[in-house]
Structure 1
């Protein structure tokens, strides 16, 4: 999510009338983190903001501190209630920092210091996740290969940048990615890396896949059955790749692993984006433009994550380790 979009959603989605001064402070910390670092993931900005809540807390007990953290996490999620990565990042942070009852056995000052240490460590792990994925994923790209990507994923871009730095020669087919221009943004970024790029219309994916060796996309969220929620159009690309026997890889950080189990497209959090379809369409015609879709696990070959290269079936085991 580009910083301007993130900040716009924060201002639209959060009302200080319904929250406390502490809620406003954590949202401001979150927004400032995104504005300072354009490449920072939303979940990492949330993790840093929640760590600041621990540092600045005036609570005198662990119960009070945990309540402040939960309230702050809820305030962040109100910034954009449909953001899967924001929700997953907040939930994972709370689980990671407070999941052991051993903290109750220490004096409060020591326990608080331990929580701050854990928060900082979790943020550092999350920040390094993208580079870990780049290191693993670059091994899948061969000299002379052509891959197709959809949308502008920072982790996919980091992976491709690593492949370029290793001297691997490859080309990329980028979908147009209407209506938010993410395909054009991705094409420009790849062109700056010196990677040969071809852009195709979103409707031209099946046509283009015949000359493609693999598909590589990012993910807004990885759900419990190993399926992926990502930019609208990802599902149809996966269907085409399956039909043409092309490997379909997903690059996603573990802080995007979410406790969700969608059965179909209607189970996704609703988020629509405006789209300009031109002035000639009759006003009586409805336009449906959801921002994301769900790709079931049977269409995904492998997921490249900072926890390793996983099959979709292995995701549920990793989720258990993350949340239990």
Structure 2
């Protein structure tokens, strides 16, 4: 009792409201159950996504993907294992060139695969039936943070009226919104992977600023569908899912 009296007496000095210091014997069990639920979702994520593969990939289609994505790789292999015959065009994903590893893995699985330069994306888009893209984070407005270069692919698809489908687990849904000039949604790395400094004069170097972002923001109007471990959703519906994955106190402050 003495401890509680002291805590109440000094409540104004505590960094958190007094309820944070209350004795909650059920709190440990509640947290353990929540952690177990998250672990179960992660373990079953790929299976639940892959079970939908044949609903979105049809015989004779040409599918375009960008760079390397384990989730998309397994999704395509799942469709192929169910006797769906289709072709995959892989953008190489410069400067990291993850598309080469992606293409090799798909080809080894028996999927007809072609690698193209990123610059050829617009030229080939008219022949494509569907674009599959990964997500690093799914934002509250239905947009996403994806690999650098993915926005270019989505724009080319939009111009040609090609559907863009995002393959992602719902654990990537976050309560953040994009804001103009908000660098917190991106990481900038050394431009050395895209610029050869040895071929540039000191005078030119002093006049040019090089930016090498790791991620791209893709707005919801460029996305047709999200395929997740709990089903398929249009970008406009993701806002409603926030209430299921986050307490209102966690996400309303980001609006």
State TM-score, norm by structure 1: 0.64
Instruction: Say yes or no: does 1:185 pair with 2:101.
Output: yes
Matched, 1:282 2:205: no
Give the Cα separation in 2 of the matches to 1:137 and 1:226. Answer: 22
Name the CA distance, whole Å, in 2 between partners of 1:307 and 1:272. 33
Bigger share in helix: 1
Match of 1:216 in 2: 132
- Contact 1:134-1:156 at 8 Å conserved across structures: no
Question: For 1:231, which of 137, 147, 159 is the aligned residue?
Answer: 147
Structure 1 residues 273 and 192, CA gap change in structure 2 (3 angstroms): farther
Q: 2:194 & 2:86 partners in 1: Cα distance?
A: 34
Give the SS at the match of 1:258: coil
Change (3 A) 1:293 1:264: farther
2:228 corresponds to: 305
**Stretches of structure 2 lacking an aligned partner (at least 5 in a row):** 1-18, 248-255
Partners in 2 of 1:263 and 1:301 — Cα distance? 22
Offset, 1:267: 4.8
More strand by share: 2
TM-score, normalised by the number of residues in structure 2 = 0.80
1:321 partnered with 2:237: no
Aligned mate of 1:261, from 177, 180, 183: 177
Match of 2:11 in 1: none
**1:250-282 CA deviation, whole Å, 9 max, x = no partner?**
011111001111144645533123314233133
For 1:111 and 1:260, locate their aligned partners in 2 and report how far apart those are by CA, in whole Å.
Answer: 27
Task: Write the distance in 2 (CA, Å) between the matches of 1:184 and 1:268.
Answer: 29
Q: Which of 28, 39, 45 lines up with 1:123 in the alignment?
A: 39
Relative to structure 1, is the Cα distance of residues 301 and 265 closer, same or farther in structure 2, using a 3 angstrom cutoff?
A: farther
Match of 1:270 among 147, 163, 186: 186
Select 1:137's aligned residue among 53, 58, 63: 53
Deviations 1:18-67 (A, max 9, x none): xxxxxxxxxxxxxxxxxxxxxxxxxxxxxxxxxxxxxxxxxxxxxxxxxx
The structure with the largest alpha-carbon Rg is 2
CA RMSD of aligned residues (A): 2.0
Q: How many angstroms apart in 1 are the aligned matches of 2:201 and 2:84?
A: 50
Cα distance, 1:185 vs structure 2: 1.6
CA contact (8 A) 2:145 2:185 kept: no
- Extract structure 1 runs of 4+ deviating beyond 3 A: 263-268
3-state SS of 2:213 partner: coil
Hey, what's the Cα distance between the residues in 2 that align with 1:216 and 1:146? 11
For 1:245, the equivalent position in structure 2 comes to 161
Shift of 1:199: 1.1
Alignment coverage as a number of residue pairs: 220
Does the residue aligned with 1:210 lie in a helix, a strand or coil?
A: helix
C-alpha distance 155-265 of structure 1, shift in aligned 2 (>3 A)? farther
Q: Secondary structure at the match of 1:190?
A: helix
Would you say the 8 A contact 2:62–2:87 is kept in 1?
yes
Question: 5+ unaligned residues in a row in structure 1: which ranges?
Answer: 1-100
Distance 1:235 1:122, change over 3 A: same
